[in-house]
Amino acid sequence: MKSFASLLALASLAASTPLSFYENNQFPIGGSQQIEAEELLSSYPGVSLDLNERRLVQLEGQAPAWVSELDKINMKAAGLRFFDVTDFPGSNYQEVPTLRTKTSYHTPNATDLVKPVLNKLSTDGPKENLEKFTSFRTRYYRSDTGRESQLWLLSKISEITKDYAPKSLQDVISISEFKHSWGQNSIIARINGTSSTDDSVVILSAHQDSTNMWPFLPAPGADDDGSGSVTILESYRALIASNFRPVRPVEFHWYSAEEGGLLGSQAVAAAYADRSANVYAMSQFDMTAWVKAGTREEVGIITDYTDNSLTEFNKKLVDLYLDIPYVETKCGYACSDHASWGKAGYPSTFTIESSFENSNKHIHSTQDRIDISEEFSFDHMLEFSKLGVAFAIELGGWSKKD
């Protein structure tokens, strides 16, 4: 296994391309000399980024080590995945912990409840919402527009709740910001459960932030992860429009700062662990729109660093409720926000737009746009909204008392 120092050297090796290459190129892979980066950064006063700031990062199989923010950028450019554990220095991120509770999941059987809600799903809302979400120059978590995009998303969730949820359901829905020091907050929409004895929560999530390989450059983030963000928002809309009253509480999370090392989801998962919250199941939706030309349309089911039992359940949901098949695939250590929940000892699963090797190669660039190619598909996204609905109903249950 490579040492941390050798991995960091590999990251620095990827930093030999002039910054001018990144402004409009669709395949940015690295950085340049620090002085050039600092000069360009000074042109973007709306981004609060100190390239010399020290951060504690965790790579797979390595002890946490201190690096600069510039090192983090270069590491990401080199394809290294990591947790930024600066705010969690005492955490043991060396080994995957034992689950807090060993959970088994039933065979999906609520078709009479799920299928009517699937009929309420549409591509109209996701198209409109993603057009707006990608209009912000960047959703980078340390930028002014990153905060503005989060506030827009918060207002859109509130608007959808007011427009689609019956008044009796609105009374048991809460929408809140989980505050972070960097300004762009995570968002949690919770539908309270009807059970007085089971408070185990079901979570559907996506990350709202975007980044260019150089974070101060434009980053529309249509697929990564604008697609996942509006996908679960459409699931939420269809559920509340159907007066969904779960037995277990069901929450929808939109995390900040995934691109910075899973910062937002780590903070949320740590807060839940600190209060010994009972998380029944967590499902991450990160990149749901891309169908590579010449490939079969499918759902990528991530099989590494996920909970085996919940992942098998997710496969059954795809078989029962979706019009396309699944494919098993892997994405590696700390590749999305499900990893934060797994590290906290909670069962988590992750679905992506395809096998990992066939996923969108335009991410982290100016070319991660809706209009870049016919390979970007809102119909494909709709299949993932179906999965979100099925996940919420099958695991959250549905009380028909009201």
Asked if 364 is an active-site residue, the reply is: yes
Asked if 225 is an active-site residue, the reply is: no
**Annotated catalytic residue: which of 209, 225, 251, 258?**
258
Q: Which residues of 360-394 are buried (b: 16+ CB within 10 A; e: fewer)?
A: bebbbbbbbbbebeebbbbebbbbbbbbbbbbbbb
Asked if 209 is an active-site residue, the reply is: no
**Annotated catalytic residue: which of 223, 225, 234, 259?**
259
**Annotated catalytic residue: which of 69, 71, 224, 298?**
224
**Annotated catalytic residue: which of 286, 368, 375, 394?**
286
Q: How is the beta sheet containing 82-84 ordered, strand by strand? A: 65-68, 54-59, 82-84
Do 216 and 40 meet the contact criterion of CB atoms below 8 Å apart?
yes
Asked if 224 is an active-site residue, the reply is: yes
Asked if 259 is an active-site residue, the reply is: yes
**Annotated catalytic residue: which of 338, 362, 364, 380?**
364
Question: Quick one: residue 217, left, alpha or beta (phi over 0 = left, psi -120 to 50 = alpha)?
Answer: beta
Residues 6+ apart with CB under 8 A from 67: 8, 54, 55, 57, 75
Determine the number of helices (DSSP H) and then strands (DSSP E) in the chain.
12, 11
Q: Give CA–CA dist 50/122, Å, rounded.
A: 42
**Annotated catalytic residue: which of 71, 144, 180, 207?**
207
Tokens standing for residue 13: 């090796």
Give the count of beta carbons closer than 10 Å to the beta carbon of residue 159: 10
Cite the active site residues: 207, 224, 258-259, 286, 364
